[in-house]
Structure 1
Amino acid sequence: MMMKIPSVDAKECTEGLTTVDVTCRRSEADQVCWIACQQKHGPNADAWCRSVMPGLPAQVCMCTYPC
């Protein structure tokens, strides 16, 4: 399952890579997440982590990239 969330100005898009096994420090993505984002969306993609639900330890690899 992937989530695509276009931003209001539509210059950047966000996608959650739920199949990537990620280890995060708060919202800071690990190397696995960075590589997955850049392989999928190119070298200008940024990687970060997002909690699945507030208060739970499960996190998702998120990518922000030019639309």
Structure 2
Amino acid sequence: MRALMSCEPGGPETLRLLDVPEPVPAPGQVLVAVKACGVNYPDLLTIQDRYQVKTPRPFAPGAEVAGVVAAAGEG
């Protein structure tokens, strides 16, 4: 699958579209095939290393998603 990833601090121009392994949902979790993702002000602060919590890189910014359930873990 492809994901827009933050690999280094900076603005939106530093984000990279990368091939990443497809995650496998654990028990009680679902895998969502994301069709749209909102990128908000806290996401911009996070990719610039200016947010109060420092997220380890690489990471995919965006916490608001819309999509369809592609797989479900047990439970």
Q: For the superposition of Structure 1 and Structure 2, which TM-score range results when normalised by the shorter chain?
A: under 0.3
TM-score, normalised to structure 1, is 0.26
TM-score, normalised to structure 2, is 0.25
